[in-house]
Structure 1
């Protein structure tokens, strides 16, 4: 496949004459990096005193002496024997979260990540094919390479899901775009093993066009896993231990070891991989998505490389997993993944192999990071007004959060929080006053509501949530996996309506209310899931959201994840959507009152 022309000034096919001429010295290079200590991902050697000649955006020569490529206009940079490696890649993450791609690019490049492979599932859930097209534009013409896939997980469950998805004809149109590489994680693997008609047609269309299909095999094993792999899905980022990694590797899968804001699986897996002498060629690192706080605290793929080296992995093996292996998987190895003639000049320079913090980053031969600072400019994108108007709800009142009952006491079915993500069905006795069932601070029982904010149907459901533990009035969010309902958690109907109306007015975000007042807010203006503010503002607001809830006594350290996962139908056991409370295992709705 060709690298998209909007990222670069050349394709390999169009560059062979100039690259050949510079390598021979018949023409002169634009840039020379001399006195490099090359970390070769091809031979696992550390090679001193190497010179790299670059013409336009590609490497023409790698060897001991590039003097024959130097002309009067050639820029020569003395690397002073520092280490040089290919740029890192994150082979699977969701960048339709928190900040615009342009803001994420700045932080990722500081970490040496020069390529991102994005699965924009929530943009599609909110705004369909039209939103997918707009999001592609937001990822173009940036000093980082952003590749996209068609979301492969929508709808999560046709019986209950109501988010938008792409039709088969739209999927076929999407993969014609040079930035779109194939199908994103097919995480409802039962659709594959049960040969769901639409899913199988999607797989067929992708394979027919020689596209990559990413996997999600949590909970699958033996014959089900075999059927999944036999259907052309050859990667997975879900293994959480070595046994799961090994089973998938033995079936020819590629493994993306996840180290991100939702899960961190690297430490256990890498240690076992090394102790068992497993071939590393099909192993990669991925984040699956990073929140602003984690990017600042840990970094990105550079963190994975650092941690693996600390655990005893050879530095070049760690760098290969962060670069070469990713591009091998995506069938892009002729263009990216190493430092060699013909490759795009995505190059990192390190002072040492312990910190793994690049002091210089080149993308396509252009310097974008120097001495820990972002040194290039990004042109601001125009965002169409319609994608900022996706909270299609009228003003709500406290009456919209009432659960009626004529009895004095009732037994309620609850969504019992075990972690921020994992739930189960619970049961509790609650008091009913004036025909309305109330939440209970003493029993740590809250109301939870889900509103369809995408289609303007006014459809909503109300239930009870248990084991939240925060002394606040309400927490509301328009960002949720992958229905993107507006979720409102509250101790009283008044604060719940204030929280909801704040997000309706702001057209998206997260907000915390106490005694009728806003105590923390994170605006998410684009489709209700991405902020158009600077990374620094988003970081500050995000920290305040969690801090305000945790400081008020919440039992969980990352409370923003609770409304995010409450509608996620791919996880057991109890979820809520605008259609009602769902028992995921039984695939049935549950009444809030027994």
Structure 2
């Protein structure tokens, strides 16, 4: 037997971007020599104190020795025996590891990865577990090409993709891709950056052997478990103990959909890792403290969905950390919930989550801990941000057609596409109604008037029309029905968008069929985004030319368009009727982009027309269909 040959330690260490095993060995061989003082370092960074996230203890007057993109050594200032090209002394600052996002849809920031980096890195985020059922539902085959390209072009943001389990979200939706065992196996084998399987959210598909998604979902789970990767979960509405235990027994490791601290404790007791989101973070932290939670090591903060506008306004995961501290969590534990805890859960601890040898030299330097005030951020071993200023160039990526030409309606829509015909000879009909965040077991019903053979809206009762347009097949298929308490009351007005979680077909909601056609055609013509129209004119647009979900431009430019849309929307009278607060609020109905979700606890939903549900109204828990009027 011959000795195993290892890569030469002089290998191109600049290739340290995708955890390639051969390069990884070469990097670590070099780090050994630097740590022992036998090879020079690039930088020695001295700080006033450093948070050891593995123990939760502060270490005073420390030096961090950096070689390439990694840490080679940490210890008391002056203890390292080697030499370095550069020394930086920042004795007044405290160092914590680069923050990580355990569960985020970057698509919901509406920025491509290279511009996402420029937004979140100054706010402390240096790594993200990208839950890719949004992009994957648009172009599943290109999932890794899309998420890894910016890093290969020099972006310091580490994106660990998790291909989507919800591709498609249910067996009753189609278009953009179909992922099963073979695809998940190939994703995991193609790159060590792939951390696992994105949130398993079709619980009926997992738990019911008769469900048409059962085999596909278990195939993806199997491929993930075979490679000892992580199966992420989405357990909204699953609150009884038998179901919680069944969810955990399936090999699904986590949940980010808890609504009470008591539910979170039940899920912790069942072995789940819990990921707390900002909309309930304060209440959850206080509740868990009141319930006596002592060990927070299986708790993290999830960004999930946050727009670039919201991040500019409040922050990224740094906002989550500040919110948790303000709710009473010890700052050291709050930092652990955004660093080492998610890194361990996602099995990434060898690369991120702590400032220690072998890990990426991603360092957040604070000038005040209690307010979590960030002075500088280092990533990949270099100073990349001061305050909220990003100091390095954003890679210029000319995204190809597979990313930019994803809206395929196939034809120009006409007002007649949105007409709902009444049965012959009727003056009134019974109509099925939905509303945003309608989680009841059955749809609503209402008698609506008929005029010239078409069923009419009823603004006096907050009833308007909502449509989903198939943007994948080129068939121009449209499903439409009446919805309650959303959309414009202003006559001849409509809003349309190409983000419709999670299948991301086009949708339009309006007070006239003409306006709905104009709004939907406007979105399709600009390759995706938002369009607000009224009186036959386009009042405002936002272009999301990448997958119909994102834009390849700075966050500030995108936010200017969002603010212009919101300003135009102030002149519209929007229908409103409470459903589930705080998810549904008066005013511009931005959250309509989430109103076509088909995951638990949704039951009756409107999806694009299919052979199974020609009118699009389907119960995604049972597969039952129903006419929209009768």
Using the size of structure 2 for normalisation, the TM-score is 0.87
User: What is the match of residue 205 of structure 2?
Assistant: 191
User: What is the match of residue 270 of structure 2?
Assistant: 251
1:114 positional shift:
0.5
User: What is the match of residue 306 of structure 2?
Assistant: 290
In the alignment, is the contact (CA less than 8 A) between 1:305 and 1:319 conserved in 2? Answer: yes
**For the residues of structure 2 that align with 1:4 and 1:123, how far apart are their CA atoms?**
26
**For the residues of structure 2 that align with 1:426 and 1:197, how far apart are their CA atoms?**
32
In the alignment, is the contact (CA less than 8 A) between 2:104 and 2:304 conserved in 1? Answer: yes
Equivalent residue for 1:21, pick from 8, 33, 51: 33
1:96 positional shift:
2.3
User: What is the match of residue 459 of structure 2?
Assistant: 441
2:334 counterpart of 1:322: no
2:119 counterpart of 1:102: no
**For the residues of structure 2 that align with 1:391 and 1:517, how far apart are their CA atoms?**
22
2:405 counterpart of 1:389: yes
Equivalent residue for 1:452, pick from 470, 493, 500: 470
The structure-2 alpha-carbon separation of the partners of 1:197 and 1:35, relative to structure 1 and needing over 3 Å to count, comes to: closer
The structure-2 alpha-carbon separation of the partners of 1:223 and 1:366, relative to structure 1 and needing over 3 Å to count, comes to: same
Equivalent residue for 2:77, pick from 60, 65, 68: 65
**For the residues of structure 2 that align with 1:547 and 1:496, how far apart are their CA atoms?**
20
1:487 positional shift:
0.9
1:581 positional shift:
2.0
**For the residues of structure 2 that align with 1:420 and 1:137, how far apart are their CA atoms?**
39
**For the residues of structure 1 that align with 2:36 and 2:16, how far apart are their CA atoms?**
26
In the alignment, is the contact (CA less than 8 A) between 2:254 and 2:273 conserved in 1? Answer: yes
User: What is the match of residue 273 of structure 1?
Assistant: 288
In the alignment, is the contact (CA less than 8 A) between 2:529 and 2:545 conserved in 1? Answer: yes
**For the residues of structure 1 that align with 2:417 and 2:27, how far apart are their CA atoms?**
63
**For the residues of structure 2 that align with 1:158 and 1:35, how far apart are their CA atoms?**
54
1:429 positional shift:
3.0
Bigger mean CA offset, 92-101 vs 572-581 = 572-581
1:351 positional shift:
0.3
2:134 counterpart of 1:134: no
Bigger mean CA offset, 560-569 vs 206-215 = 560-569
For structure 2, list consecutive stretches of 5 or more residues without a partner in the other structure: 1-13, 577-585, 610-615
For residues 264-303 of structure 1, give each alpha carbon's deviation from its aligned partner in whole angstroms, at most 9, with x where no partner exists: 1211111122231331111111111211221012111111
User: What is the match of residue 85 of structure 2?
Assistant: 74
1:165 positional shift:
2.1
2:108 counterpart of 1:88: no
User: What is the match of residue 347 of structure 1?
Assistant: 363
In the alignment, is the contact (CA less than 8 A) between 1:550 and 1:559 conserved in 2? Answer: no
Counterparts of residues 512-523 of structure 1 (less than 5 Å): 512-523=532-543
Equivalent residue for 1:404, pick from 417, 421, 424: 421
2:273 counterpart of 1:234: no
User: What is the match of residue 50 of structure 1?
Assistant: 62
**For the residues of structure 2 that align with 1:272 and 1:503, how far apart are their CA atoms?**
43
- For the residue of structure 2 that corresponds to 1:507, the secondary structure is coil
1:586 positional shift:
5.2
**For the residues of structure 1 that align with 2:80 and 2:403, how far apart are their CA atoms?**
53
**For the residues of structure 1 that align with 2:441 and 2:588, how far apart are their CA atoms?**
15
Q: What RMSD, in angstroms, separates the aligned Cα atoms of the two structures?
A: 2.6
Counterparts of residues 211-226 of structure 1 (less than 5 Å): 211-220=229-238, 221-226=240-245
1:588 positional shift:
2.2
- For the residue of structure 2 that corresponds to 1:246, the secondary structure is helix
1:485 positional shift:
1.8
- For the residue of structure 1 that corresponds to 2:466, the secondary structure is strand
User: What is the match of residue 577 of structure 1?
Assistant: 607
1:69 positional shift:
4.4
1:205 positional shift:
1.6
The structure-2 alpha-carbon separation of the partners of 1:453 and 1:15, relative to structure 1 and needing over 3 Å to count, comes to: closer
In the alignment, is the contact (CA less than 8 A) between 1:476 and 1:563 conserved in 2? Answer: no
In the alignment, is the contact (CA less than 8 A) between 1:474 and 1:514 conserved in 2? Answer: yes
The structure-2 alpha-carbon separation of the partners of 1:591 and 1:256, relative to structure 1 and needing over 3 Å to count, comes to: same
For residues 151-182 of structure 1, give each alpha carbon's deviation from its aligned partner in whole angstroms, at most 9, with x where no partner exists: 11232221345552224222211112222121
In the alignment, is the contact (CA less than 8 A) between 2:438 and 2:602 conserved in 1? Answer: no
1:310 positional shift:
1.4
In the alignment, is the contact (CA less than 8 A) between 1:407 and 1:432 conserved in 2? Answer: no
In the alignment, is the contact (CA less than 8 A) between 2:180 and 2:220 conserved in 1? Answer: no
**For the residues of structure 1 that align with 2:54 and 2:599, how far apart are their CA atoms?**
43
1:483 positional shift:
2.1
For residues 9-28 of structure 1, give each alpha carbon's deviation from its aligned partner in whole angstroms, at most 9, with x where no partner exists: 99653234433333333333
1:376 positional shift:
1.0
Counterparts of residues 470-509 of structure 1 (less than 5 Å): 470-472=488-490, 473-509=493-529
Equivalent residue for 1:426, pick from 428, 444, 463: 444
The structure-2 alpha-carbon separation of the partners of 1:231 and 1:569, relative to structure 1 and needing over 3 Å to count, comes to: closer
**For the residues of structure 1 that align with 2:369 and 2:43, how far apart are their CA atoms?**
25
2:352 counterpart of 1:336: yes
In the alignment, is the contact (CA less than 8 A) between 2:43 and 2:67 conserved in 1? Answer: yes
**For the residues of structure 2 that align with 1:91 and 1:27, how far apart are their CA atoms?**
35
1:522 positional shift:
1.1
